[in-house]
A and B are shown apart, each in its own frame.
Chain A
Amino acid sequence: MGAIIWGTSGKHVTSAQNRTILICSGKGGVGKTTLTANLGIALAKQGARTAVLDADFGLRNLDLLLGLENRIVYTAQEVLSGSCRLEQALVKHKQEPNLSLLPAGNPRMLEWLTPDDMKKIAGLLAEQFDYVLIDCPAGIEDGFKNAAAACREAIVVTTPEVSAVRDADRVIGLLQTREIEPIQLVLNRVRPRMMANQEMLSVSDVTDILALPLLGLVLEDDQVIISTNRGEPLTLNGTRSPAGQAYTNVARRLRGEEVPLADPTKEGQGLRAKLGRLMHTKIF
């Protein structure tokens, strides 16, 4: 790993300006891998050299979401054991050559990875890439510990559901004890109508409870499933779909751009939206 060159607000940056970011959630199925794929593509499209590392090698899926499942030959394990070079293991995305995928391992080798292995892999990637996104396995056991060992900052993904928020809270606690900083939040699968009807935790409910800055807000969007079917992340083709736009905005905010966050329940100007707001005014 390169030397620490400078630090601001406790955040250290290695070799030029590499940022190694853990993408985690605690609970499975909330959209970690979808965020990793879309954010990876979006960052790459914005000109940043980006690597995505699938740390969930027991149940790896990042290759599938990126449409790269047929091009994996080696994994990080072969790189570490010296049987291939990093360049041979990296799978470069054809349409977006700024993006490369590195699987940590394959499902047959379940027990080999240690936190030190992950640090070494992340260190190698940090020398070549501006951004390294690590797709963390669900849970808070070894897979999480390995992935967290290699990161300086984190993005926690959650949905506005009690179980997902509770698990996110556990993960945030663990990240804070490891002094990972900053930790930012992406709220996924937001359904504006349910939120407006107060049948879903509001954005501020979640951000107040978890006490994290909000990096992005992604609406529930059928296009996510369609893009997964195709193996083409929404951010790849500049789609105007709400989720694709949200992921692109996450990338822009991550790079320091000011992109305002809209309250999903306050967007409408029609009678319905106005009535909805009236209904949620506190009367006593």
Chain B
Amino acid sequence: MTLRDFIDKLLGRQPASAGMARERLQLVLAHDRSDLNPELLEQMRREILEVVSRYVEIDLEEGDVSLETEDRVTALVANLPIKRARPNPLPPGADPSMATV
């Protein structure tokens, strides 16, 4: 955050638009470059979360799976805070929310 962003926030003004432009561009370019549509990405995200949560209990509120692009290389970045490990991994297809630890 820059000083200007801070003052804008204090005064309740709209933040400068360049930051928004940058974020929106990075997101749209990640999709353009990977040729993944948002729907497929969402499906993949759900499946990744499902697999991971069979092994560890993750914080779904804080978790994030997204495409990030740097230097024209796109990476799938998953940031999944682990609450605790499961001593016994769940079988495929099990509903993690039903499992007792």
A contact set with B: CB distance below 8 Å: 161-162, 165-166, 169-170, 172-173, 195, 197-202, 205, 208-211, 278-284
B contact set with A: CB distance below 8 Å: 1-4, 6-7, 16-19, 21-22, 24-26, 28-29, 32-33, 69, 71-72
Q: A166-B32, A169-B33, A170-B32 are in contact. Are A279 and B3 (CB under 8 A)?
A: yes
Q: A280-B4, A281-B2, A283-B6 are in contact. Are A202 and B18 (CB under 8 A)?
A: yes
Name A283's contact: one of B3, B19, B21, B33 (CB within 8 Å): B3
Name A201's contact: one of B1, B7, B18 (CB within 8 Å): B18
Q: Are A279 and B2 in contact (CB under 8 A)?
A: yes
- Report the bound CA distance from A165 to B33 in whole Å: 13
- Report the bound CA distance from A211 to B69 in whole Å: 11
Q: Are B1 and A284 in contact (CB under 8 A)?
A: yes
- With CB as the reference atom, state the residue of chain A lying closest to B19: A198
- Report the bound CA distance from A201 to B26 in whole Å: 12
Please indicate the chain A residues that have their CB under 8 angstroms from the CB of B2 in the complex. 198, 279-283
Apart from A162-B25, A165-B25, A199-B17, list 18 A-B contacts with CB within 8 A. A161-B21, A162-B28, A166-B29, A169-B32, A170-B32, A173-B33, A195-B18, A200-B21, A201-B18, A209-B29, A211-B72, A279-B7, A280-B2, A281-B2, A282-B1, A282-B2, A283-B2, A283-B3
Q: Are A201 and B22 in contact (CB under 8 A)?
A: yes
Within the complex, the shortest CB–CB distance from B73 to chain A, in Å, comes to: 9
Within the complex, the shortest CB–CB distance from B32 to chain A, in Å, comes to: 7
- Report the bound CA distance from A201 to B32 in whole Å: 19
Q: A166-B29, A169-B29, A173-B33 are in contact. Are A201 and B21 (CB under 8 A)?
A: yes
Please indicate the chain B residues that have their CB under 8 angstroms from the CB of A162 in the complex. 21, 24-25, 28
- With CB as the reference atom, state the residue of chain B lying closest to A202: B18
Within the complex, the shortest CB–CB distance from A34 to chain B, in Å, comes to: 23
Q: Are B6 and A200 in contact (CB under 8 A)?
A: no
Please indicate the chain B residues that have their CB under 8 angstroms from the CB of A284 in the complex. 1
